[in-house]
A and B are shown apart, each in its own frame.
Chain A
Amino acid sequence: MKSDPSFNQLRPLTSAPPEIGRGEFILNVERLVTRLNNGARIVDDISFSIKQGETFALLGESGCGKSMTALSLMRLLPDGIRVASGDIKLDEEDILALPEYAMRKVRGGQMAMIFQEPGLSLNPVMTVGDQIAEVLILHQQLRGKEVHPRCVELLEQVGISDASRRASEYPFQLSGGMKQRVMIAMAMAGHPKLLIADEPTTALDVTIQAQVLKLLRDTQQKTGMALLLITHDLGVVAQMAHQVGVMYAGQIIEQASREQLFARPAHPYTQKLFAALPDAERSGQPLAAIPGNVPPLGAPLAACRFAPRCDKAWALCHEQVPEWAQLENGHGVRCHLYTSQMGSEKLNLKASLSHAPPTPGGEGVGTEGRGTSLLQVENLQVHFPIRKGILQRTVGYVKAVDGVSINIPEGRTLALVGESGCGKTTVGKALLQLITPTAGSVRFAGHELIGINAGQLRKHRAGMQMIFQDPYASLNPKMRVAEILQEGMDALSIAKNSDERQRRIDELLEQVGLEKTSKWRYPHEFSGGQRQRIAIARVLAVNPNLLICDEPTSALDVSVQAQILNLLKSLQQQLGLSYLFISHNLAVVEYLAHEVYVMYLGRIVERGTVKEVLHAPKHPYTQALLSAVPRIDGQGMKTVRLPGEMPSPSHPPQGCHFHTRCAQVMAKCREVYPTETLVSTTHRVHCYLAAE
């Protein structure tokens, strides 16, 4: 595992998605406009075509109109939104001219769609087989005994083992990844010419995402269907797409083949998107965040939509809508830089200035933890009892956290990574005593926190605080920003009088980059990124030493994520904060963290500095996790496919927890849990392979 040094780093393209005989254009979309009834344009003048066997990716941040484009194609737009003008031709058939009854034949038969949340797109009271059978009966005219074998066949095709039994099961008996496979089987049942996949893997873990993406590629290769992939993830685009359309505020602002786009992004927005991706190369310096937010629907259309956030914008950009400009072979862009005289001058100027080599490596990354230890966790256990029967007897335990030891030095960032359900969030909450730990010791700044009463605990509350994942759920909608910020100060008696508090609130808002006037406003008036800033200001109000960040950027767009990461980083430098950074996003971890702990089924399987764990992983699980991350250079590490899914923590496997999915499993792995092996002074692994 010593291939490339970091994620998300641009480099020449070597491998590519499978090239298959690509034929005629299957789908032609011409000047499609979709409006709200009040006239706001949600999808504004979009044109693209997809060839047979080709994957076209629509890339963009949330609120850009990607999903609305897909729903316009299916003619499934919600009430109050309609296609105002344009042409949609599927195999020479005008979709917009079809009557509704003919459209029903098209949906599922010619064009199928899979959605983001597999848990919500299957009917919970019908068996999986019945749901697939419905499609078969409608679109394949199969009857009676023919149906069931075909269902089983389809389920086998999407890689579901024991398919005949699974066909008679209900959705709740399947895991998330399996549900998405079933959705794909359902979509394939009608032999569609075009499959629309709307963020098909966003709700899944990286390892499952890799499985599902591979399945989509294989299916496409077998059937030669066209695939319209909607995603916000550049990594997924790099793995899947042949053609890419970048959407911004309802328009396609750049369209190119994947190779062209990744080699030379033309639009300033696309360039910024690449620059905003965190990785280790940039860990010493702030990320190139795009200021501001995606404009709301129905914003004025007089000028270039990106102009307010663009650092290359000049007067013309604020006055005139840019025309579509063709560069070489199929690469198109909507930007004044490429159409006007002034633009080409600016472009040349920029070319001479850019490409300065990035300062290599971040300072401090990889060095041993210095300073005194702030938080010491020994053998932390959180077990939830499973109760059954009338008397609610305890019949077993879900071992969510099973003996975790962590050591966070002052002013450092420690990252906890793992798939969902591995217990990382539970660790965070147990440290804060939001969930009572079953056993173990948590020593914070020399004080034991477990076993003390609420009054004593309150004294130490100020030192350790948490930033939550969802900025929409973490602020009380009925309280003003000032009241939100004041709550912690009141509870922990931080400031003496109300004048001092108000001063502190002003200070905090400035610190997190918000205007002072915003303290009289309510949370719903802010965007996701601004809300996360408020949440950060709220915890800073009590002067903590340690922040537990529970996936603080996973609900945010890439450009906003960069803003928040920059903020966290600068706060660490200014205030000497320590972070426990809980995340599944390895690129973010690599950018921000000093040390990484990898967690699997309630236990730490590997720990060490970022360099050691992410660039020379020893545990097969870490290796698999790393190889599953889609990279924007389209180049996998040595592919370690992880079969299956994480076992339930109520019945962890005997021996090494990972042996059920491990490719290099040995006999002793099945019997005894491996002890800790020291690879270096900082790098420790629980695996027999490393011990040898």
Chain B
Amino acid sequence: MNQAAHVSILFYAQNALFSEFNAGVSNMPVILWTDVMIYVLLATVLTAALWIRKRPYLVLPWQRVAKDSVGMVSLLLLSLFVLVGLLDTMHYRAALPEKSNGQTVYSAEVLSVFDALATGIKSRTEKTYSAPLAAYLYAKESMETSEGKILRDYPRLRYGGAHLVDPQRELLGDVLKRTGIGALEGLLIGVLLIVVSNMLFHFFVRFRTVWSSTGREEISKDNRLPTFTRAVKNKPFKALLITALLIAMLLGITVNLAAVYHVLGTDKVGQDVLYLALKSIRTGLVIGTVTTLVMLPFALLLGIAAGYFRGWVDDVIQYIYTVLSSIPSVLLIAAAVLMMQVYIEMHPDWFETSAARADLRLLFLCLILGVTSWTGLCRLLRGETLKLRELEYIQAAQAFGVSSSRILTRHIVPNVMHIVLIAVVMDFSSLVLAEAVLSYVGVGVDPSTMSFGTLINSARLEMGREPMVWWTLAAAFGFMLVLVLAANLFADAVRDAFDPRLNRT
């Protein structure tokens, strides 16, 4: 259901964006390789959700997830991250106002919907470092005063706190005032949204009742429309509501402050760190999910084939993954990425924009991470299949002469899906961390791609500086912590829901 919500939001955003430019000329949509992957993934998740909805035994564990407060709260956080990631996935090239020979000329820079929404913080770049919510630069400079004297002091920022007359006196009051207003606005919008969605939900339920005759009978029989007050009594929903309001307040505060300040400071070239951190989310998500997409077919097919067929098939697959997992993966990745880099640089004409080049490198990183990380899940699935193939229902199917491919798809795969699901969600967080480590080592994403790894990498020098620049690292740390923690807690909830030992009752 979450995905569906996202899609509708995407449409809104896209419509809003294009209508804004409709006055002039239309922009050229750009679909990068990783965008394709993300759309494929999104489609897969949606089909899977629809497929699961029709099967009660598959819906059951998800209903258990929905009853877990921690799981639902982390899902809400995760979906916010996913929303930012998806907005950042819809790329386009802006049309330039001037035309050459009647042909529209597009800017060389590939932007995303997210960039358009965050134009404010994207464009307000300072000269260099500035602390969070500061009105002055972080380093002293020589300035000429109106009297013509040279003064060495902290200069005012170009944008941060520029509206203040005397920042030293007014800054604290202004920040507090904006925080308060922001929190209130956020709260109001949050409550409004909840009320509206509640009304929409009711409308939807009535609509369904009117249109389906059977549903009408059912509802008229017990007359129990799920009302809002009833839903609040349910514990996970309450937790979800509180979290949603808190997040709305936080967003309100951030939006209010970010209009005139750099909430998380600026980096060496004066870019807003909040913007960098938000842009990093997409990279993290791509690494976490596209890698899984690459790795899953290897792990699933090879794992169950090795376990089911035994014999030489098993031997070959075992040799492959033993060899692969005995090569240090960082070495393998470094070698592959460096080769790729050289190759890309030899063919600059292949890429229209620098974004396309950086994107290909990101995709390639996903591929190579996927190729090196399927061994663990494959081994797990092989073991489980070895156990399953001896079970009597498999033998009963063999006695009916059911073909091997049918046994694999009908009997083995559904019975190992819980392992796949848990492994995939667990792997997500470790892959996000792996990207950070690789970028820190220097074999990760393109330096122009913003990622948690590049943020951390730049923090290496900043931490050694006197006075220390701490906010880049803190921002990367905070965002990654929330993302990975939410993913892990959600994975825990999923695992518990699928664990038959915990669900005896």
Which one of B46-54, B209-217, B398-406 contacts A? B398-406
State A477–B500 Cα separation when bound (angstroms).
12
* Interface presence of A76 (CB below 8 A): no
**Residue contact A454 to B401, C-beta cutoff 8 Å:** yes
Given contacts A473-B391, A478-B414, contact A466 B396 (CB under 8 A): yes
* Interface presence of A186 (CB below 8 A): no
Kindly identify, within residues 45 to 72 of chain B, every residue whose CB is under 8 Å from any CB belonging to chain A. Answer: 57
Which one of A41-49, A484-492, A583-591 contacts B? A484-492
Which one of A155-163, A299-307, A457-465 contacts B? A457-465
Closest to A544 in B: B399
State A254–B415 Cα separation when bound (angstroms).
44
Closest to A542 in B: B400
With beta carbons under 8 angstroms apart, the residue of A466, A492, A539 that contacts B401 is: A492
With beta carbons under 8 angstroms apart, the residue of B57, B391, B397 that contacts A487 is: B397
**Residue contact B400 to A487, C-beta cutoff 8 Å:** yes
Chain B residues with CB below 8 A from A631, complex form: none
* Interface presence of B393 (CB below 8 A): yes
Kindly identify, within residues 393 to 434 of chain B, every residue whose CB is under 8 Å from any CB belonging to chain A. Answer: 393, 395-403, 406, 410-411, 414-415
* Interface presence of B392 (CB below 8 A): yes
Interface mask (B2-41 → A, CB under 8 Å = 1, otherwise 0): 0000000000000000000000000000000000000000
Minimum CB–CB distance for A25 against chain B, Å: 38
**Residue contact B399 to A434, C-beta cutoff 8 Å:** yes
**Residue contact B401 to A458, C-beta cutoff 8 Å:** yes
Chain A residues with CB below 8 A from B415, complex form: 476-478
Closest to A457 in B: B401
**Residue contact A491 to B402, C-beta cutoff 8 Å:** yes
State A212–B23 Cα separation when bound (angstroms).
94
Chain B interface category by residue count: 10 to 19
With beta carbons under 8 angstroms apart, the residue of A432, A469, A539 that contacts B392 is: A469
Chain A interface category by residue count: 20 to 34
Chain B residues with CB below 8 A from A490, complex form: 402
Chain B residues with CB below 8 A from A468, complex form: 392, 395-396
Which among A434, A468, A476, A542 has the greatest number of chain B C-beta atoms within 10 A?
Answer: A476
**Residue contact B395 to A492, C-beta cutoff 8 Å:** no
Chain B residues with CB below 8 A from A491, complex form: 397, 400-403, 406
Interface mask (A349-378 → B, CB under 8 Å = 1, otherwise 0): 000000000000000000000000000000
**Residue contact B395 to A466, C-beta cutoff 8 Å:** yes
Chain A residues with CB below 8 A from B391, complex form: 473-474
Interface mask (B479-500 → A, CB under 8 Å = 1, otherwise 0): 0000000000000000000000
**Residue contact A461 to B395, C-beta cutoff 8 Å:** no
**Residue contact B392 to A473, C-beta cutoff 8 Å:** yes
Closest to B394 in A: A476
Chain B residues with CB below 8 A from A539, complex form: 396
* Interface presence of A429 (CB below 8 A): yes
With beta carbons under 8 angstroms apart, the residue of A473, A478, A479, A492 that contacts B400 is: A492
Minimum CB–CB distance for B153 against chain A, Å: 68
With beta carbons under 8 angstroms apart, the residue of A434, A454, A542 that contacts B395 is: A434
State A491–B414 Cα separation when bound (angstroms).
19
State A522–B398 Cα separation when bound (angstroms).
21
* Interface presence of A399 (CB below 8 A): no
State A469–B390 Cα separation when bound (angstroms).
13
State A299–B126 Cα separation when bound (angstroms).
73
Closest to A538 in B: B396
With beta carbons under 8 angstroms apart, the residue of B392, B400, B402 that contacts A470 is: B392
Closest to B414 in A: A478
Minimum CB–CB distance for A482 against chain B, Å: 14
Given contacts A476-B415, A478-B57, contact A429 B401 (CB under 8 A): no
**Residue contact A488 to B400, C-beta cutoff 8 Å:** yes
**Residue contact B396 to A474, C-beta cutoff 8 Å:** yes
* Interface presence of A475 (CB below 8 A): yes
Chain B residues with CB below 8 A from A478, complex form: 57, 414-415
Interface mask (A431-475 → B, CB under 8 Å = 1, otherwise 0): 010100000000000000000001001100100011011100111
**Residue contact B392 to A487, C-beta cutoff 8 Å:** no
Minimum CB–CB distance for A311 against chain B, Å: 33
Which among B392, B410, B415 has the greatest number of chain A C-beta atoms within 10 A?
Answer: B392
State A522–B403 Cα separation when bound (angstroms).
23
**Residue contact B400 to A522, C-beta cutoff 8 Å:** no
State A487–B399 Cα separation when bound (angstroms).
11
Chain B residues with CB below 8 A from A457, complex form: 401
Which among A466, A487, A492 has the greatest number of chain B C-beta atoms within 10 A?
Answer: A487
Minimum CB–CB distance for B48 against chain A, Å: 15
Minimum CB–CB distance for B211 against chain A, Å: 26
Minimum CB–CB distance for A540 against chain B, Å: 12
Chain A residues with CB below 8 A from B395, complex form: 429, 434, 466, 468
Given contacts A478-B414, A478-B415, A479-B410, contact A473 B399 (CB under 8 A): no
Chain A residues with CB below 8 A from B400, complex form: 461, 465, 487-488, 491-492, 542
Closest to A38 in B: B505
Chain B residues with CB below 8 A from A487, complex form: 397, 400, 402, 410
Chain A residues with CB below 8 A from B410, complex form: 476, 479, 487
Q: In the complex, given contacts A466-B399, A522-B57, what are 14 additional A-B residue pairs having Cβ atoms less than 8 angstroms apart?
A: A454-B401, A465-B399, A470-B392, A473-B392, A474-B392, A475-B393, A476-B411, A477-B415, A478-B414, A487-B402, A488-B400, A491-B400, A491-B402, A492-B400
Name 16 A/B residue pairs within 8 A (Cβ), A-sorted: A429-B395, A432-B399, A434-B395, A434-B398, A457-B401, A458-B401, A461-B399, A473-B391, A474-B391, A474-B392, A476-B393, A476-B415, A477-B415, A487-B400, A490-B402, A492-B400
Residues on B facing A (Cβ under 8 Å): 57, 391-393, 395-403, 406, 410-411, 414-415
Residues on A facing B (Cβ under 8 Å): 429, 432, 434, 454, 457-458, 461, 465-466, 468-470, 473-479, 487-488, 490-492, 522, 535, 538-539, 542
* 6 smallest beta-carbon distances between A and B, as pairs: A474-B392, A468-B392, A458-B401, A478-B414, A488-B400, A461-B401
